[in-house]
Amino acid sequence: MSIVRFGVSIEKELLDELDEYVSENHFANRSQAIRQLISKNIVTRKWECNNVVAGSITLIFNHHKRQLLKKMTDVQHEYHDSILSSQHFHLEKELCMEIIAVKGEASVLTELADRLIAIKGIQHGKLTMSRAD
């Protein structure tokens, strides 16, 4: 991948916002921040266009909730083509976190995440998507 330099004209207020973004996110420089913003925009567009994306579904739950693990497993088996891997973590005696690595059409991954997050006993859930190409 080659680097291309180019100039940008930008309003002072917007440049100040960019500099604040660079600082808050600990980027080494403006170029790194701009690259990240462009990549984020591309991912969002791919997500909205239902392209193939990769990502993770993070779930926080009390593993003692009746039938919760069975329900989670049943849903995951319905989407076996989209699930790459899952990992289970013990955060506290009863509190667990599961991270499910996924790849597939954005709408399918969103549907999978929504179904898992909606299971009674899931305390928090989040789908994060990124580029798969």
CATH code of 91's domain: 3.30.70.1150
Q: What pTM was estimated for this model as a whole?
A: 0.75
Residue 99 has pLDDT above 80, yes or no: yes
Residue 1 maps to a domain: no
Would you say residue 1 has pLDDT above 70?
Answer: no
Do 102 and 59 reside in the same domain of the chain?
yes
Q: Is 69 within the bounds of a domain?
A: yes
Cα(66)–Cα(80) distance, rounded to whole angstroms?
Answer: 23
59 and 104, same structural domain? yes
Is 44 a member of any domain?
Answer: yes
84 has pLDDT over 90 = yes
End-to-end alpha-carbon separation of the chain, Å? 14
- 86 in the same domain as 32: no
**What mean pLDDT comes out for the span 90-104?**
96
Average pLDDT, whole number, for the chain?
91
Answer yes or no: do 63 and 119 share one domain: yes
Residues with Cβ < 8 Å from 24, sequence gap 6 or more? none
88 DSSP β-pair partners: 98
Q: How many residues does the chain have?
A: 133
Residue 5 within any structural domain of the chain: no
Q: What is the dihedral of CA 81, 119, 86, 70, to 10 degrees?
A: -90
Residue 119 domain flag? yes
82 and 20 assigned to the same domain: no
Residue 104 belongs to domain spanning: 52-131
- Number of structural domains (the chain) is 2
